[in-house]
Amino acid sequence: MPGCYCYDSTLAGLLTLYARLLPERVAVERISATPLEQQSLFSSEICIATDQAVAEAFWQRLTKRLSGNSLKLLRRCLLADHPQQELLIYHYLLLEAEQGWKVDGMLAHPQVAPVWKLSRQVGREAHRYLGFVRFQQLQDGLYYAAIAPDHRILLLIGAHFAERFRDQQWIIHDQRHGEGIVYDCNSKEWLLLPMEVTAQPDVTPEEAQFQKLWRSYFSTLAIPERRNLKLQQGKVPLKVRSYLTEFTV
């Protein structure tokens, strides 16, 4: 009978779970970072304790075994925010253990298609957010940008902004997932850290003036007779506009 399993919500915890279950090809009904509120009469949930050494060894084996395409797909899916992503990945890895690199060409397979689709969603969102990040200069000289993506894409966009703004101190804050990238222009390195901001950032007077000028330019440039709200929403979704200077009041 398929079982239910839980882990501590960390990447190491999930990798430990995969390392324990995959070799035995355990039938799994549910994998979650949150334990069930009520246990079923016919099945109980098993919590897998995190083992950092086991997780690291398992990841090293995966990186050596998987093809480049499969590894890219897996990395993106691990960053997804999806209620069944852990189970989808587990089924994909089960098939990959059987088929090896052949799995790259099995896009219509029921254990591959959902993972491939989820990977594309994460990659597409990361690409779009390269144009949806708006930095604002704070009083201490730091540049701060807030976003709220559906998926945890910071690891996918960090290198782009580190290259583009290499001479500035900046932060990109994912408010939805409570984490952020902190970039140090001296060491040219960036870190992904847990992050919560409870107050509105205090921008410089120059930043406030530039934002006002940008909104004015954006409004003046628009041609009312050629307004196409449907097209505009397709290019700039409503969910990101509250974080874009040109759409805020």
Q: What is the 3-state secondary structure (H, E, C) of the chain?
A: CCEEEECCCCHHHHHHHHHHHHHHCCCEEEEECCCCCCCCCCCCEEECCCCHHHHHHHHHHHHHHCCHHHHHHHHHHHCCCCCCHHHHHHHHHHHHHHHHHHHHHCCCCCCCHHHHHHHHHHHHHHHHHCCCCCCEEECCCCEEEEECCCCCCHHHHHHHHHHHCCCCCEEEEECCCCEEEEEECCCCEEEEEECCCCCCCCECHHHHHHHHHHHHHHHHHCCHHHCCHHHHHHHCCHHHHCCCHHHCC
41 vs 175, more confident: 175
Residue 90 CB coordination number (10 Å): 21
Q: What rounded mean pLDDT belongs to the chain?
A: 92
* Span 120-142, pLDDT tens digits: 999 999 999 999 999 999 999 99
Q: What distance in Å separates the CA atoms of residue 215 and residue 248, rounded to the nearest whole number?
A: 8
pTM of the predicted protein model = 0.88
Q: Assign 198 a pLDDT band (cuts: 50, 70, 90).
A: confident
* Span 201-231, pLDDT tens digits: 899 999 999 999 998 988 888 888 888 878 8
Q: Assign 49 a pLDDT band (cuts: 50, 70, 90).
A: very high
Q: What distance in Å separates the CA atoms of residue 236 and residue 132, rounded to the nearest whole number?
A: 8
**109-123: average pLDDT:** 97
**43-52: average pLDDT:** 87
Res 168 pLDDT > 70: yes
pLDDT score recorded for residue 38: 57
